[in-house]
Structure 1
């Protein structure tokens, strides 16, 4: 079992005395659908190079994820590859996610989705690995289970001014019973059947793409603007098709994701389609999809794409995304170099030409604040 860091005697004694007097408080999240909750935990490793040079392994403090009466306990561990002669290799690291215990009144399977990231201290941005998943049997137990690992390279840009490194993990716990019985899952199954579908969506299809057929009633319920675009139609091959929706300017993949959202409130390929879906969401008045796309785009901000996302946010009237992109510009040395005279990249030059007011606002934001929305934490500490 991973060892928790020892606290100084005096503060520890004082804490125990306070607990005896007033008890303790812990956090538990209650939500209609637990799978919508994403736990985000950040581990700050103090004096990174010095710390890993002295240790053969490193474990984070145990952290708790509690939702709807089920509590899981986790930690992140760092392990090292061995060279040909058995010598420890300190870069890249092996970063592991471990389930250290579970407290639940009911047993059952759950799918765990997780994603590691490391903080780029130079541009103040999380560099994230790909999302991984694993199915686990959750029951009352305190046995350590290794859920997954990633090989993570730590470079100079990841070392902050205090010589610390921050490693992040995002966790999503999806219980099987919830998947089976949720409205979203039932609507997903309805979307996958051909029963009583009466509307054909015309879009740009490839040779292997199947026609996109949907229920007119759900189109009308979800978007009045899309409902008003339904045209009376009769398909000679299928007499049940009564309506046609012309969206021929859009690809089959994009329309499939739009349909998935309309039925289930979810998008499977947000990373790929979020920019184009944002246009569709504002055009057809789907505010839930707008918020989903904004979250995806905010998480994907980089010095290279921030000018394009700023233009997109301004064009679509998405104030939250616009503010987040401007905030991202603050204190970024790389962005400052890209925007200064003689160093503008093509994306910034395009913004300056097509939207000079927005370009000027972005320039004013660069270097205007020293704020940091992430908690600095303490030695071996966690911040949510």
Structure 2
């Protein structure tokens, strides 16, 4: 039986009897802006001489780092803890990687949704291996108390060690303040999409039993895409005088069309990983560059040796040069792909 030690991560103390420093490595920062209303903080923690570092420690903490949103400053660190086996000995693989809130400075208290994702750098193919996204709701107020927000179990293999024997762990962190989220333009547009009144356009698509017809506002369609605007057809419905137009998407299933419409209204897509490969052709066909970028980014994060060929083909079909170049780079640096290619004699 394997259990996790109950020792919680602690803040570095000013005086410590042990000669070993509590903070390990460095944290670098990038900021991603996937859509206009969101900011994603991207932190990379590099643990130097990884195996030697964890061998002599019961815990490993990153330096603290700050993430500020709309006048509110939050302070965080990433920590590594270890499972213990039945004999009580430390198990160094897999690791338990924790996200900890170490403090908060804000003038107004309130709830915020925290979305985070861990990843580990695969040095052999120069690509991030990402865990699923996690989400929690926190009450943020002025505090210096440490709070463990969540954790993931990560297996560290030889491919994760770079030439210096270092390991890099990535954290993507997004802080969505509840009041901001409720009153954002994106959320207002989402509510407009959900309302049944004033919609004058029906979208014909492949529907299963129980799936409701999709209705939209023609003025939003015309504003967002001239290509879609040209696709609008005059429509008359004896049951509803408000319906004046229709869009023919009969070759697309209901769920896909719903996500296309959601993006047109809100600049967002639910479950992008599921729909990106189908939405990408639609985004280029109807000239929605923001959706194209979102799909490309999602597909790049999901690259594996088993799907890279399909993504390359999709990139060529949609003329997405950035996606094609990134997929080719992945192939060139993937040891697994190189090992699967055998060169030998041919039958004459």
Name which of 135, 138, 141 aligns with 1:136: 138
Task: State the distance in 2 between where 1:240 and 1:52 align.
Answer: 67
Name which of 11, 30, 35 aligns with 1:2: 11
Residue in 1 aligned with 2:155? Answer: 153
Residue in 2 aligned with 1:279? Answer: 281
Q: Deviations over 1:193-229 (max 9, x none)?
A: 1011111111111112111111111111111111111
Structure 2 length-normalised TM: 0.86
SS at match of 1:196: coil
Name which of 65, 68, 87 aligns with 1:66: 68
- Equivalenced residues, count: 321
After superposition, the CA RMSD in angstroms is 2.4
Pairing 1:166-177 to 2, within 5 Å after superposition: 166-177=168-179
Task: State the distance in 1 between where 2:165 and 2:227 align.
Answer: 54
1:315 Cα deviation (Å)? 1.6
Task: State the distance in 1 between where 2:94 and 2:159 align.
Answer: 14
Instruction: Note if contact 2:201-2:217 (Cα within 8 Å) is conserved in structure 1.
Output: yes
Pairing 1:319-330 to 2, within 5 Å after superposition: 319-330=321-332
Q: Which sections of structure 2, spanning at least 5 residues, go unmatched?
A: 1-9, 16-28
Pair 1:229–1:302, CA change in 2 (3 A): same
1:35 Cα deviation (Å)? 5.3
Instruction: Note if contact 1:59-1:75 (Cα within 8 Å) is conserved in structure 2.
Output: yes
1:325 Cα deviation (Å)? 2.2
Q: Does 1:197 align with 2:206?
A: no
Pairing 1:157-306 to 2, within 5 Å after superposition: 157-306=159-308
Q: Deviations over 1:346-367 (max 9, x none)?
A: xxxxxxxxxxxxxxxxxxxxxx
SS at match of 1:240: coil
Q: Does 1:82 align with 2:91?
A: no
Question: Greater share of strand residues, 1 or 2?
Answer: 2
Instruction: Note if contact 1:34-1:67 (Cα within 8 Å) is conserved in structure 2.
Output: no
Name which of 102, 105, 111 aligns with 1:103: 105
1:316 Cα deviation (Å)? 1.2
Task: State the distance in 2 between where 1:152 and 1:190 align.
Answer: 42
1:145 Cα deviation (Å)? 0.8
Structure 1 length-normalised TM: 0.78
Q: Which sections of structure 1, spanning at least 5 residues, go unmatched?
A: 7-26, 343-384
1:165 Cα deviation (Å)? 1.6
Task: State the distance in 2 between where 1:239 and 1:178 align.
Answer: 37
Task: State the distance in 2 between where 1:286 and 1:147 align.
Answer: 36
Task: State the distance in 2 between where 1:233 and 1:61 align.
Answer: 62
Pair 1:186–1:313, CA change in 2 (3 A): same
Pair 1:35–1:142, CA change in 2 (3 A): farther
Instruction: Note if contact 1:35-1:173 (Cα within 8 Å) is conserved in structure 2.
Output: no
1:91 Cα deviation (Å)? 1.8
Q: Deviations over 1:223-263 (max 9, x none)?
A: 11111111221223333222111101111111010000000
